[in-house]
Amino acid sequence: MSLNKIQLPPYLVAEFYKTHLVELNSSTNSNTESKKSETLKSLGENKKQIAILVNYSDSVFLADNQLNFLTQLLAACKLNLGDVAIINFHGLKMDFETIYFQFKTKVVLLFDVAPASLEIPISFPQFQVQKYKETSFLFMPSLQEIESEKTLKIKTWNCLKIIFNL
């Protein structure tokens, strides 16, 4: 009997390899798992699982005057900074799955962040409330544009009333 033709019973093979039969190195892990391990910086406590994505190249999160305007918008919706997570999406290469994994989002407000940049498989225009994976999305212009133009404020408010049942 040659050594190349020995067949071991399954229980014996299991005994030989109690901890693992094949070891995968970290480079073979899926992209999703590695993205999920990345931690995004955010402002706010995210108590109500609302992610607010902004796009500012010159601020860590957003400028003071835009933060004040956003705080007023949140107050009108009976929310505060503790209820949300503000993420500056400028320069990030994150998809929706990563954001959803970290923040367990129920609502995502996109201020000057295109839905396509989140790699979601749907496209929708500004000021259209859109559902995807049990999350409501709202894509809008930047906060400074909304603040400076009355018609944009009205459109924003009408959409926020829908999302937050006001």
| Residue found under tokens 């601020």 | 59
- Token pair in block for residue 88: 């500056």
Q: Which region holds residue 112: left if phi is over 0, alpha if psi is between -120 and 50, else beta?
A: left
Token readout for 28 is: 């073979």
pLDDT above 90 covers a percentage of the chain that reads 52
Residue extents of the structural domains in the chain: 8-35, 39-163
Reported confidence tier of residue 146, pLDDT bands at 50, 70, 90 = very high
**Inter-residue contact 99 to 118 (CB < 8 Å):** yes
Those residues whose C-beta lies under 8 Å from the C-beta of residue 45, and which sit 6 or more positions away, are 81, 82, 83, 85
- CB neighbours of residue 80 within 10 Å: 14
Dist. CA 86–CA 24, nearest whole Å: 36
Asked whether residue 35 carries a pLDDT value surpassing 80, the answer given is: no
Nearest CA among 82, 108, 21 for reference residue 98? 108
Average pLDDT, the chain: 84
Compute φ and ψ for 51, nearest 5 degrees.
Answer: -100, 130
- Rounded to two decimals, what is the model's pTM? 0.75
User: Which residues, 6+ apart, have CB-to-CB distance to 125 below 8 Å?
Assistant: 139
pLDDT exceeds 80 at position 28: no
The pLDDT tens digits for 38-82 are: 678 889 999 999 999 999 888 888 888 999 999 999 999 999 999
- Identify the architecture of domain 39-163 in CATH: 3-Layer(aba) Sandwich (3.40)
Answer whether 43's CB lies under 8 Å from 61's CB. Answer: yes
Average pLDDT over residues 109-126: 91
